[in-house]
Amino acid sequence: MYVDKPMRGHNLMQAIARVNRVFKEKPGGLVVDYIGIANELKAALADYTQAKGRGKPTIDAREALAVLLEQMDVLHDMLRGVEYGDFRTKAWQLLPAVANHVLGLDDGKKRFADAVLAASKAFALCCTLDEALAHRDELAFLQAVKAALTKHGGTDKKLTDEQKEHALRQIMSRAIVSDEVIDIFSAAGLKRPDIGVLSDEFLEDVRHMKERNLAVELLERLLKGEIKSRFKTNVVQEAKFSELLQQSLTRYRNRAIETAQVIEELIEMAKKFQEAAQRGEALGLNHDEMAFYDALATNEAAVRGLGDETLKKIAVELVQSLRKSVTVDWAVRETVRARLRVMVKTLLKRYKYPPDKQEEATETVLKQAESLSAEWVAA
């Protein structure tokens, strides 16, 4: 056997197994040319033989086929009730309905993704068999559904080896799924909104989507993205909206509220995002000052006793003082943290912030400063 490219895992073992099938008189695969794959070979032997690397390095394609057929049966059971037989010619149109059906099942997304992954791994080991090839196109379609359901926004995320392998396999096998990245918004017939903008028009489109479970999934993704982009340096607002989102989704997944109700809750939450993001402009505070204002305003007694004007003054002074004092490693230097803690407490006392809440407010302010310090140091 001549090894002319790096291989590992089941790909390496399957290559050796093919040599065994061609040269049946040999007791095992013989590595003639060697390019430094010792560690990969040992790992593959340990993973794919029950003898911990000492057994016969051959994978039985029939065993893999049995796993493939078993997982396809699981997937067919999960998708009973949704018609997708025309996936070869109408894959794009059918994807939203299948995704919506999966999302309506108990723990559907995870169970579906696990079954598709297991079927895909089995297919990789028995793809030379005619019985396996009969399921190739359907599996490619189901991989596309899985990708649409599990893909989260952001093009900066690295693809896993498994995702790369599946994408290449689809292209090489001329699968019917588009080789473009699956966009669940486009598949559902929606124009994806600009980042950071959830317009009333778009939310109204989501409200009237036929695929209700898919609408919830879309809103969940969008709201998580909104929280991350709008409030990534505002620890109070990020924690507040993350908790609200999780509460609504938990009640929905526990069947405590209906799909229509959670859609309305999530749409209202999206509108609150817009209001929260615009408060700084109304108060005359910039992005950083607004974050510290929120940190101080978590105490209702302080809001009532001091009022907006005083809290705004404290927030402005905090930004000016802390920005001058933070360094790259200040968060891990206890001496610097202690000095900043004293500075914050002194400022709160001077403005008569409620004494019983000063310690809590100080810790929140320091957390907020830590969140912003990277931007401050880089500026």
Tens-digit pLDDT profile for residues 71-93: 999 999 999 999 998 888 888 78
Average pLDDT over residues 16-40: 58
* Residue 173, number of CB atoms within 10 A of its CB: 15
Q: Which amino acid is located at 376 in the chain?
A: W
Which residues share a beta bridge with 33? 2
- What confidence tier does 111 reach under pLDDT thresholds 50, 70, 90? very high
Report how far residue 273's alpha carbon sits from residue 227's, in angstroms, rounded to the nearest whole number: 8
312 near 289, Cβ under 8 Å?
yes
Confidence check: pLDDT of 19 > 80: no
Q: If phi over 0 gives left and psi between -120 and 50 gives alpha, with beta otherwise, what is residue 53?
A: left
Q: How far apart are CA 227 and CA 225, in angstroms?
A: 5
With 0-12 / 13-18 / 19 or more C-beta atoms within 10 angstroms meaning exposed / middle / buried, residue 313 is: middle
Q: Mean pLDDT over residues 9-34, rounded?
A: 59
Residue 21's pLDDT band (cuts 50, 70, 90): low
Contact predicate 344/362, CB 8 Å: yes
157 or 198, higher pLDDT? 198
| Mean pLDDT taken over the chain | 76
- For residue 272, what pLDDT is reported? 83
| Selected residue with higher pLDDT from 379 and 242 | 242
Q: What is the pLDDT of residues 289-347, one digit of tens each?
A: 888 888 888 878 788 888 888 989 999 988 888 887 776 566 567 777 788 888 889 99
Spatial distance between the Cα atoms of 179 and 223, rounded to a whole number of angstroms: 27
Confidence of residue 157 (pLDDT cuts 50, 70, 90): very low
Which range in 18-22, 266-270, 305-309, 314-318 is most confidently predicted, on average pLDDT? 314-318
> Which amino acid type is present at position 190?
L
pTM of the model: 0.55
| pLDDT score for 22 | 57
pLDDT (mean) for 220-230? 81
Contact 295, 319 (CB under 8 A): no
| Structural tokens at position 49 | 């033989």
Residues 6+ apart with CB under 8 A from 2: 32, 33
> Does the pLDDT value for residue 226 go beyond 90?
no
Whether the predicted pLDDT of 126 surpasses 70: yes
* Residue 156 to residue 211: CA distance in whole angstroms: 29
pLDDT tops 50 at residue 259: yes
Q: Which residue, among 12, 5, 1, 3, has the nearest Cα to 41 in the 3D structure?
A: 12
Better-scored residue on pLDDT, 31 or 13: 13
Minimal CA–CA distance to 267: which of 211, 213, 214, 199? 199
